[in-house]
Structure 1
Amino acid sequence: MKNILLAALLLLMIPVYAKAQSADAIVGLWLNEEKDAKIQIYRTGDKYYGKIVWIANAYEADGKTPRKDSKNADASLRNRSIINMVILTDFEYDDGEWEDGKIYDPKSGKTYSSKIKHKGNTLDIRGYVGISMFGRTTVWTKAQ
């Protein structure tokens, strides 16, 4: 009887484990569409975040000064480094999508509402203002 209860409990846990596995499918390293940045996506609690861990041309023209967030609308943030900058924030997994997050574009200094769809070795990341119909999708590729 004890073994039957244990087996039943394990069977009940399979859907919970499967959902956690699919929710974490985006965790890892991704190259942006232009292949000039590598973003590490990670989970904190039940939310997902992404930070830039590598960029091409990591230094200013002098070859010594790390590139800064010079286009940020908030002048107090313009001196922060692009490397280790968190650009994906507060994504929540729901029914095969990561929703209700924000994406920051350091190239423009703008932040957009965003959602993510995982498709094998790619992520479709939709940034938008207001509703998702008024936005743009970028495709990131799993980094090797």
Structure 2
Amino acid sequence: MLKKASLFIVLFVLSVQVFAQKKDDILGKWLNPSGEGQIEIYKRGDKFFGKLAWIKEPNDANGKPKTDEKNPTESLRNRPVLGLEILKNFIFDDGKWIDGTIYDPKSGKTYSCKLTLKEANQLSVRGFIGVSLIGRTEVFKRVK
């Protein structure tokens, strides 16, 4: 009986390690739920960031690149939306990427954010104000 219990414990520990997230598992390109944009997540030092790597409509009606016109900082309103860093300063902690921010160029607002891998190809992005209970979650899909 003791051998069976020991074997069960060893198998359980090994299975937990197989499903545990590694901090670099988040790296790569992710498609937002509406299919309008892709975010490329990358690492600088020990922190994680994400930029708009592709958007469905990169130009305005006049054929000029769309700019960050809703930015609360007037001097930043002329920068292109394509290539804009919208995820900033995430740290990996206990299987989640936390303590970062997400910027919404459509509204010009920045929110606290946490990221969680639901599966290898699904990223849960939770933007919130103050506490995580007050916010919105979207699920992004990995781009192959």
TM-score range, shorter chain: 0.7 to 0.9
Q: Secondary structure at the match of 2:57?
A: coil
Aligned to 2:134: 134
Q: Matches of 2:34 and 2:110 in 1, distance apart?
A: 19
Aligned to 1:99: 98
Q: Secondary structure at the match of 2:22?
A: helix
Q: Secondary structure at the match of 1:24?
A: helix
Q: Matches of 2:25 and 2:140 in 1, distance apart?
A: 14
Q: Write out per-residue CA displacement over residues 73-121 of structure 1, whole angstroms, 9 at most, x where no aligned residue.
A: 1111110001110000000000000000000011111000000001121
Q: Matches of 2:22 and 2:35 in 1, distance apart?
A: 25
Q: Matches of 1:73 and 1:106 in 2, distance apart?
A: 10
The aligned amino acid for 1:52 is L
Aligned to 1:37: 37
The aligned amino acid for 2:80 is S
Q: Matches of 1:141 and 1:108 in 2, distance apart?
A: 23
Q: Write out per-residue CA displacement over residues 9-64 of structure 1, whole angstroms, 9 at most, x where no aligned residue.
A: xxxxxxxxx9xx7100110000111111111100111100000011011101012x
The aligned amino acid for 1:66 is P
Identity between Structure 1 and Structure 2 (%): 48
**Equivalent residues in 2 for 1:48-59 (5 A)?**
48-59=48-59
Q: Matches of 2:28 and 2:118 in 1, distance apart?
A: 14
Q: Secondary structure at the match of 1:52?
A: strand
The aligned amino acid for 2:122 is T
Q: Secondary structure at the match of 1:33?
A: coil
Gaps spanning 5+ residues in structure 1: where? 1-17
The aligned amino acid for 2:41 is I
Q: Matches of 1:139 and 1:36 in 2, distance apart?
A: 13
Q: Matches of 2:132 and 2:61 in 1, distance apart?
A: 37
